[in-house]
């Protein structure tokens, strides 16, 4: 048996290894949506941050204590409020919280793997679980979920889902009163849903796990799921109404069902290829498959069909409930992010954080299928020291060969983990500043309108106004309906003293969407052009949309002073 470091206390290895790999992230600043969710979010800075989080969306609106948006993830905003009380606006603390939660998730993955592999009577389930959890810990596809503060919801709902599944297995073998089982399950399911809408997967996986391996808890989990879901649905629609989160201006949201379906195979290929070879990772991908070419459609479709056929083949051959469970885990959670219901991006590395656990579980639980000679070799390899053996350890040619194989396999696993860790560490350097992230990812992902705009913003802040203008214009050209790039192009002309063009683009931004900065900027541009009455009237009307907005109130007061 391989003797791993910290064999007796695997959580020590997970914590030590994880902290080393993600140490760079601790010193990375707030990036992108972190600004609106934390830095400029007045609601998390009040004593009533919990009520604001429960009663609204996620994004700050006009610097007020109002959270807008169609997504309902109140637990994420609550964690920001708690972290703000501890760390203020130091990004270190927010990163520390997120990394710590990732480490806890990895420990839960280890114990869940270990418990499930024991059901399949795999030799040395401890080692198998440890390898799988360490790959999850350091895989580069997890960087966006762990290193991007605005992606806290991913590690949150994963935590509550893993906790629920682990407790199903734990409580199934213990005598716990019906009331406490229902209370525990309904609380965890409810918290998973409050973390992210994808937390709904906990109900599907929990019911499957109960049916396959823990039938004693099935009835209690079923009623818990109903109670938690009803309460969550009431809460969401009570505060956000019937607005749909999949309505918006982003390309995927406006794509037809047929176009989303022909894009799906390439989305699947993106995740699978980057799992095995995580090379070109980039945030904010908005591409669509528009033509049925071999590269973009037929090859990914063939790969998807072959992969599904392989899973069915292994499910039949293995006859393993654990393999079936992990297959349903992988496909069930992945289908939620393949834009059958449109999302705001085509693919996102953070969305693969949870499905990756199912894929790892499938790979490990299928590794013992094959000819008898292969299974025998693996059983000899994984035999634990406590397993009786007629041959002294390492004696004879066969024992010596086994030791060499063990050493070779150990080196392969360690090399794999080190390579993944190195790639993860490199990816964290891309996140060390907004400019480094946007400039790096825009090269890999040139069609991202929001990356172009953000890169322009960073260049503007550096005083490189002409370069910034190029990126603002490119962003607006990629998505003419986006109000942010229109506002920023107006800011460029405003800075150059071309107030006429500045007014033009501010008005375009307002026509495209309710962006509070465009309203503020237009009010002041009108004042600077001497259009005092128009500025005052516009600012007063804008206050109906953004009540209490300090800059709009200032514009009104300045206008009144100028009139006198």
Q: What is the pLDDT of residues 346-360, one digit of tens each?
A: 999 999 999 999 999
Q: What are the backbone angles phi and psi of residue 120, rounded to the nearest 5°?
A: -85, 0
Is residue 424 domain-resident? no
Is residue 77 domain-resident? no
Sign of the C-alpha dihedral, residues 313, 318, 321, 326? negative
Is residue 488 domain-resident? yes
Is residue 514 domain-resident? yes
Is residue 539 domain-resident? yes
pLDDT over 80 (residue 67): no
Question: So what's the pLDDT on residue 376?
Answer: 53
Q: How many CB atoms lie within 10 A of CB 62?
A: 24
pLDDT band at 56; cut points 50, 70, 90: confident
Is residue 548 domain-resident? yes
* Among the listed residues 426, 475, 259, 478, the one whose alpha carbon sits nearest the alpha carbon of residue 490: 475
* Among the listed residues 109, 217, 208, 218, the one whose alpha carbon sits nearest the alpha carbon of residue 166: 109
Q: What is the C-alpha to C-alpha distance for residues 214 and 202, in angstroms, rounded to an integer? A: 15
Query: In which region does residue 384 sit, left (phi positive, over 0), alpha (psi from -120 to 50) or beta (all else)?
Result: beta
Question: So what's the pLDDT on residue 384?
Answer: 46
523 and 554 Cβ atoms separated by less than 8 Å: no
From 378-387, 400-409, 523-532, the region with the lowest mean pLDDT: 378-387
Q: What is the mean pLDDT of residues 272-296?
A: 93
Q: What is the mean pLDDT of residues 491-514?
A: 94
Domain hosting 447: range is 435-563
Question: So what's the pLDDT on residue 93?
Answer: 96
Percent of the chain clearing pLDDT 70 (strictly above): 86
C-alpha distances (whole Å) from 221 to each of 163, 178, 184, 475, 550 are 13, 10, 9, 48, 50
pLDDT band at 388; cut points 50, 70, 90: very low
Q: How many CB atoms lie within 10 A of CB 548?
A: 13
* Among the listed residues 136, 108, 140, the one whose alpha carbon sits nearest the alpha carbon of residue 419: 140
pLDDT tens digits for range 94-135: 999 999 999 999 999 999 999 998 876 666 678 889 999 999
C-alpha distances (whole Å) from 326 to each of 321, 396, 398 are 9, 39, 35
pLDDT over 60 (residue 26): yes
Q: What is the C-alpha to C-alpha distance for residues 176 and 181, in angstroms, rounded to an integer? A: 7
Q: What is the largest CA-CA distance in the chain?
A: 103
Question: So what's the pLDDT on residue 506?
Answer: 96
The larger pLDDT score, comparing residue 389 to residue 155, is at 155
Q: What is the C-alpha to C-alpha distance for residues 237 and 245, in angstroms, rounded to an integer? A: 12
pLDDT over 50 (residue 407): yes
134 and 343 Cβ atoms separated by less than 8 Å: no
What contacts 541, CB < 8 A, 6 or more positions away? none
The larger pLDDT score, comparing residue 562 to residue 536, is at 536
Indicate the pTM of the whole model: 0.90
Q: What is the mean pLDDT of residues 354-372?
A: 83
Q: What is the mean pLDDT of residues 277-286?
A: 92
C-alpha distances (whole Å) from 119 to each of 212, 321, 343, 541 are 11, 9, 37, 66
Q: What is the C-alpha to C-alpha distance for residues 422 and 428, in angstroms, rounded to an integer? A: 10
Q: What is the mean pLDDT of residues 450-476?
A: 96
pLDDT over 60 (residue 521): yes
Q: Which CATH number goes with the domain that contains 539?
A: 1.25.40.10
Question: So what's the pLDDT on residue 108?
Answer: 97
Q: What is the C-alpha to C-alpha distance for residues 37 and 44, in angstroms, rounded to an integer? A: 9
Q: What is the mean pLDDT of residues 304-319?
A: 93
Q: Report the number of distinct structural domains present in the chain.
A: 1
pLDDT over 60 (residue 394): no
Is residue 381 domain-resident? no
Question: So what's the pLDDT on residue 563?
Answer: 74
Q: What is the C-alpha to C-alpha distance for residues 379 and 373, in angstroms, rounded to an integer? A: 10
Q: What is the mean pLDDT of residues 254-267?
A: 94
Angle (CA) 62-65-71 rounded to 5° is 80
pLDDT over 80 (residue 264): yes
Q: How many CB atoms lie within 10 A of CB 176?
A: 14
What is the full DSSP assignment across 265-297?
HHHHHHHHHHHHS--S--S-B-----S--IIII
Radius of gyration of the chain (CA): 27
515 SS3 class: coil
Q: What is the C-alpha to C-alpha distance for residues 204 and 7, in angstroms, rounded to an integer? A: 33
Is residue 450 domain-resident? yes
pLDDT band at 387; cut points 50, 70, 90: very low
Percent of the chain clearing pLDDT 90 (strictly above): 65
The larger pLDDT score, comparing residue 564 to residue 239, is at 239
The larger pLDDT score, comparing residue 358 to residue 68, is at 358
Q: What is the C-alpha to C-alpha distance for residues 551 and 544, in angstroms, rounded to an integer? A: 14
Residues in the chain: 564
353 and 154 Cβ atoms separated by less than 8 Å: yes
Q: How many CB atoms lie within 10 A of CB 1?
A: 18
Question: So what's the pLDDT on residue 446?
Answer: 87
pLDDT tens digits for range 162-212: 999 999 988 766 666 677 888 999 999 999 999 998 999 999 999 999 998
């Amino acid at each position: 048996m391989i003797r791993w470091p910290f064999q007796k206390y695997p959580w020590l290895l997970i914590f030590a290894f994880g902290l080393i790999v993600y140490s760079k992230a601790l010193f990375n600043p707030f990036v992108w949506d972190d600004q609106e969710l934390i830095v400029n979010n007045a609601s998390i800075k009040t004593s009533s941050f919990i009520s604001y989080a429960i009663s609204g969306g996620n994004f700050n609106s006009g610097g007020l204590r109002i959270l807008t948006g169609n997504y309902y993830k109140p637990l994420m905003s609550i964690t920001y409020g708690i972290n703000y009380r501890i760390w203020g606006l130091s990004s270190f603390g927010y990163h520390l919280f997120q990394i710590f939660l990732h480490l806890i998730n990895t420990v839960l993955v280890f114990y869940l793997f270990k418990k499930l592999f024991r059901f399949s009577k795999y030799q040395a389930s401890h080692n198998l679980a440890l390898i799988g959890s360490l790959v999850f810990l350091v895989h580069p596809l997890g960087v966006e979920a762990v290193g991007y503060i605005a992606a806290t919801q991913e590690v949150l709902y994963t935590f509550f889902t893993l906790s629920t599944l682990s407790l199903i297995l734990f409580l199934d073998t213990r005598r716990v009163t019906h009331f406490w089982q229902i209370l525990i399950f309904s609380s965890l399911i409810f918290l998973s849903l409050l973390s992210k809408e994808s937390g709904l997967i906990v109900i599907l996986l929990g019911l499957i796990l109960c049916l396959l391996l823990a039938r004693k808890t099935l009835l209690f989990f079923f009623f818990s799921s109903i109670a938690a879901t009803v309460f969550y649905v009431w809460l969401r629609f009570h505060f956000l109404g019937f607005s749909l989160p999949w309505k918006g201006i982003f390309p995927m949201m406006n794509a037809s069902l047929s176009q989303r379906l022909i894009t799906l195979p390439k989305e699947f290929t993106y995740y699978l290829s980057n799992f095995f070879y995580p090379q070109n990772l980039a945030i904010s991908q908005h591409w669509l498959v528009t033509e049925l070419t071999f590269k973009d459609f037929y090859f990914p479709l063939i790969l998807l069909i072959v992969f599904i056929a392989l899973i069915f083949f292994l499910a039949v051959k293995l006859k393993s409930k654990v393999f079936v469970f992990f297959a349903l885990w992988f496909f069930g959670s992945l289908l939620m992010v393949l834009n059958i219901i449109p999302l705001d991006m085509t693919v996102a590395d953070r969305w693969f954080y949870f499905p990756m656990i199912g894929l790892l579980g499938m790979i490990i639980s299928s590794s013992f299928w094959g000819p008898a000679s292969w299974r025998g070799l693996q059983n000899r390899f994984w035999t634990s020291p406590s397993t009786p053996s007629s041959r002294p350890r390492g004696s004879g040619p066969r024992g010596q060969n086994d030791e060499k194989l063990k050493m070779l396999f150990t080196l392969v696993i360690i090399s794999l983990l080190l390579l993944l860790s190195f790639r993860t560490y490199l990816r964290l350097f891309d996140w060390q500043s907004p400019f480094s992230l946007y400039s790096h990812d825009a090269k890999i992902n040139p069609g991202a309108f929001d990356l172009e705009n953000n890169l322009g913003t960073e260049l503007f802040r550096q005083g490189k106004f002409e370069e910034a203008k190029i990126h603002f214009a490119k962003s607006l050209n990629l998505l003419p309906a986006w109000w942010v790039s229109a506002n920023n192009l107006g800011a460029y002309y405003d800075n150059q003293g071309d107030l006429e063009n500045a007014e033009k683009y501010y008005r375009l931004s307002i026509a495209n969407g309710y962006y509070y900065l465009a309203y503020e900027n237009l009010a002041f541009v009108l004042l600077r052009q001497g259009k005092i009455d128009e500025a005052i009237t516009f600012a007063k009307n804008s206050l109906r949309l953004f009540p209490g907005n300090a800059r709009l109130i200032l514009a009104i007061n300045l206008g009144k002073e100028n009139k006198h």
